Structure 1
Amino acid sequence: MSKASPWGSPMRAPACMESQLGVVRYRRDGTMLLSASSLNSRTWGGSIWVFKDPTGAPNESLCTAGVQTETSIADAAWVLERGILVAADSGAVELWELLDNESLLVNKFTKYEHDDIVTSVSVFPGGTLAVSGSKDFSVQIWDLSQKTPLKAYKAHSGQVNCVSTCPGKEDVFLSCGEDKRVLLWDTRNPKPAKSINVCASNVSPTYVIWHPNKDDTFACGDETGTVYIVNLKNPESAQAVEAHSRSITGLAYSDHSSPLLASISEDCSVVVLNSDSSEVFKDQTHQDFITGVAWSPTDLSSFTTVGWDHKVLHHSVPKDDQPDPPTETKD
């Protein structure tokens, strides 16, 4: 059992959490990852926090582990059970690992392959490969097991806003950027990137995420607050929902058999759409930009949002609007 610090939080964790919360991600067992950032003088600082009990966040004294980072954090993702992949404002991609009964976060590597802020990271299904996107217009493929970059691509002509790996394929991912394009990538092809027409020609897509059960369907959010449900067989017929009045900052699918889609925005609202793209939930409790959203893997009716107001809010979708849970399959 790790010693307690005089402030109540684990000895190895920072004593204080920065004011602006950025990323929230759940591990399969319900453990929650949280990032925080703040501007100190002319320098942005950041930290990573792990909570076995998500209801304890953002109370530092109730965290399982935490660590200060050199710069603020734009994105983060779980890698298998104990790894945390981080997109840093310094241009670095960092891999951290939980050790010592998950009370200690240890840096496994910090690589500066990008020339500007790393905006987004996403891990492929096997947990050994990942992709990152950056303001330097590039995407980078990573071999996490070997702690090395594999290949960089520069198909975007503007900063990359988001990358998202396909749940069922190790070679396929999406990216979107300020060049107003969504790109579908297949790294097995000589020309791996293909443009997908989704948003209006003068609008930038801000976030993309694959459907968890369909490798031909994804969701996209843009700077006007519109959410699109796109089928790759017929992308021109994407369903468009004007869910928000300002830019989309995040999207997350639930684990239901017909997943719900939660969207968050700079308009300080969170909206949940069902499989028919109808709104079944809306909340406007946050008082500043909402920056992170994630569904609980242990309670399918519940999801969590975090924002620049330093709030961690746990929402519940009304029971009548919940679809069925996924059918359990035997190994």
Structure 2
Amino acid sequence: MSSDSPWGSPVRAPACMEVHLGAVRYRTDGALLMAASSLNSRTWGGSIWVFKDPLRAPNESLCTAGVQTEAGVVDVAWVLEKGILVASDSGAVELWELLDNESLLVNKFSKYEHDDMVTSLSVFTGGSQAVSGSKDFSVKVWDLSQKTPLKSYKAHSSFVNCVSTCPGKETMFLSCSEDGRVLLWDTRNAKPAKRIDVCASHSIPTYVTWHPVEDDTFACGDENGNIYVVNLKNSDSAQTASIHSRPITGLAYSNHSSPLLASVSEDCSVVVLNSESSVIFKDESHRDFVTGVAWSPVSVDSFTTVGWDHKVLHHSIPKENNPEPKAEEKA
């Protein structure tokens, strides 16, 4: 039986994508993963979508695969090549798998281990474990093959806004919370959480992401639109840039030799900083909250943003701001 419908999209793909696009992630081969949510009556509905050609997003009829979820989707993450981890408004962590020539999404598990909505997900490099953060104040480390949380921690005293695993380190991750704290975690330790003083006094951190190359460096955004680039060896001397006028909703490092840092915000703008935290690119084409950002793995100077305006925008960094050496210099 064919997996294609008469309209050219997979049978299980929803007929219509929700208005609010909330998260975007690239697979290593350039396939684009997106999450969407909308308020229907008194409840949020959601869906996840895969586009092998990112330029076709958000056209539902041109997706590779898509599926409706039982609640709104806050965050998504790739698990190796075929798996998709989902953070649900319902408090569930879900794992879906691409099958049938990647035209079909099949649920592998849905675990309701959190007592409130799951706000953030991050997968460790090996793909066998992940960490989730929730509005129930907790963070949980998951064994994805066993479909169960290995450890659950409540070191925060308010909503967990974001979690981020350390590239290449299977025991280390970051979390930030409405309690104003950024915590560095190492699950090998008896007391696994250590507070890192990052944001200005009385400012709430909203997003954290680890540097892709330097495992002692991460970036943090706060509710006032500030970005901090922190080196754990000297956290008191963080690079600080006042970039946005409203809370930061996403940060992503590029694949350059000296990675660029893209940020998105509720002020509807998109900004890229160089390694000195200077602005080299800004775009204000979105007309509502910008909620997701991801760099293309196949085009080093390109990245994608999504937002509540239902726009999927593909941006390119001007050549004069490219930190990569020119072709003749490489030779």
Q: TM-score, normalising length from structure 1?
A: 0.97
Cα RMSD (Å) of the superposition? Answer: 1.0
Q: Is the 8 A contact 2:23 2:34 kept in 1?
A: yes
1:248-272, CA deviations, whole angstroms, 9 ceiling, x for partnerless residues?
0000000111000000000000000
Query: Residue type of the partner of 2:123?
Result: V
**SS in structure 1 of the partner of residue 236 of structure 2:** helix
Q: Is the 8 A contact 1:162 1:207 kept in 2?
A: yes
Consecutive unaligned residues in structure 1, runs of 5 or more: 326-331
Q: Distance in 2 between matches of 1:277 and 1:319?
A: 18
Q: Distance in 1 between matches of 2:24 and 2:2?
A: 25
Alignment pair present for 1:177 and 2:212: no
1:277 match: 277
1:182-220, CA deviations, whole angstroms, 9 ceiling, x for partnerless residues?
000000000000000000120100000000000000000
2:37 match: 37
**SS in structure 2 of the partner of residue 234 of structure 1:** helix
1:166 match: 166
1:315 match: 315
1:112 match: 112
Q: Distance in 2 between matches of 1:53 and 1:274?
A: 28
Query: Residue type of the partner of 2:183?
Result: L
1:166-315 → structure 2 map (5 Å cutoff) = 166-315=166-315
**SS in structure 2 of the partner of residue 233 of structure 1:** helix
Consecutive unaligned residues in structure 2, runs of 5 or more: 326-331
**SS in structure 1 of the partner of residue 258 of structure 2:** coil
Q: Is the 8 A contact 1:2 1:103 kept in 2?
A: no
2:329 match: none
**SS in structure 1 of the partner of residue 175 of structure 2:** strand
Q: Is the 8 A contact 2:216 2:233 kept in 1?
A: yes
Query: Residue type of the partner of 2:219?
Result: A
1:62-101, CA deviations, whole angstroms, 9 ceiling, x for partnerless residues?
1000000000011110000000001100000000000111
1:329 match: none
**Identity %, equivalent residues:** 78
**SS in structure 2 of the partner of residue 298 of structure 1:** coil
Query: Residue type of the partner of 2:257?
Result: S
Q: Distance in 1 between matches of 2:276 and 2:198?
A: 18
Q: Is the 8 A contact 1:231 1:238 kept in 2?
A: yes
Query: Residue type of the partner of 2:223?
Result: E
Query: Residue type of the partner of 1:310?
Result: H
Q: Distance in 2 between matches of 1:130 and 1:56?
A: 29
Pairs aligned (count): 325
Query: Residue type of the partner of 2:234?
Result: N
1:147 match: 147
Shift, 1:2, TM fit: 4.2
**SS in structure 2 of the partner of residue 170 of structure 1:** coil
Shift, 1:276, TM fit: 1.0
1:92-116, CA deviations, whole angstroms, 9 ceiling, x for partnerless residues?
0000000111000000000011100
Q: Is the 8 A contact 2:118 2:132 kept in 1?
A: yes
Q: Is the 8 A contact 1:7 1:15 kept in 2?
A: no
Q: Distance in 1 between matches of 2:89 and 2:3?
A: 32
Shift, 1:322, TM fit: 1.1
1:128-147 → structure 2 map (5 Å cutoff) = 128-147=128-147
Q: Distance in 2 between matches of 1:90 and 1:33?
A: 20
Shift, 1:146, TM fit: 1.3
Q: Distance in 2 between matches of 1:196 and 1:2?
A: 53
Q: Distance in 1 between matches of 2:15 and 2:2?
A: 15
Q: Distance in 2 between matches of 1:205 and 1:168?
A: 24
Query: Residue type of the partner of 1:81?
Result: E
2:94 match: 94
**SS in structure 1 of the partner of residue 11 of structure 2:** coil
**SS in structure 2 of the partner of residue 300 of structure 1:** coil
**SS in structure 1 of the partner of residue 246 of structure 2:** coil
Q: TM-score, normalising length from structure 2?
A: 0.97
2:58 match: 58
